[in-house]
Amino acid sequence: MGVNATQYWEGVDMTSKSAIGSRLSSGTNKLSYGALWDFYKEGWVNLPGAGACQGGIYDVYSTKCWTPGSGQCGTYKREGDCYNREHSWPKSWWGGGKNTAYTDMFHVMPSDGYVNGRRSSHKFGEVNSPSYTSSEGNKVGSCSTSGLSGTCFEPTDRVKGLLARASLYMNVRYGYEQGAAYTALLLKWSSEHPPAGWEIEFNSRAQGWQGNRNPFIDYPQTAQQLLR
């Protein structure tokens, strides 16, 4: 748990969705969209335990370790061209308005621009027969998860837990959701892929910029209790 977590959650009823939501919205900083580029250079560089990506920006959709700043998109034609700002909870799901969620760093993450484009606004889900597979193993194809239909995007195990907790955060912070089957999948991924050291460090770095934390990184079991 991050060094500021206990103090941040002090006095908050962690069994109450509304109490957690109120804490998340209190005393936060709404960042500009451009400020996310600046945060990536600090918040996503030199994360402990982030494999070979030291000195570069850690990517949620590829194993490429990006050069901060100079690797920004830009335009892309293929994987590895540049990194951009992925709304892991697609902005089109709330109408695309430039509200606080638009720049909330707990779900807007650095990602390979091309793979991000292939993800589009598809739901996360399990994909057994992909029509597209990235070099790392992210998949696009017909949803295989029970209760989900249409096209899904399945990220790799490396970030399934991170992305699930980001989406669960969006539920509690903004009231956004995509139905019981989707929430059940997110809870499953969060349970199967608990927070790694780099994710815990990211939580504290994000707090330094935005002023709040993701409760499901600090207390993973809280999601099961609140949202099941």
Tens of pLDDT along 79-125? Answer: 999 999 999 999 999 999 999 999 999 999 999 999 999 999 999 99
Q: How many domains does the chain have?
A: 1
How does pLDDT run across 154-206, given as a tens digit for each residue?
Answer: 999 999 999 999 999 999 999 999 999 999 999 999 999 999 999 999 999 99
Please enumerate in sequence order all residues whose Cβ is within 8 A of that of 18, keeping only pairs 6 or more positions apart, or say none: none
Q: Residue 193 has what DSSP assignment? A: S
Cβ contact 195:177 at 8 Å: no
d(CA 196, CA 49): 8
Domain annotation covers residue 6:
no
Taking only the tens place, the pLDDT of each residue in 18-61 is 999 999 999 999 999 999 999 999 999 999 988 889 899 999 99
Range of the domain at 70: 12-227
Q: Residue 7 domain-assigned? A: no
Contact predicate 188/154, CB 8 Å: no
Residue identified by tokens 């903004």 is 174
pLDDT tens, position by position, 199-218: 999 999 999 999 999 999 99
Is 4 within a domain? no
As a whole number of Å, the CA-based R_g of the chain is 17
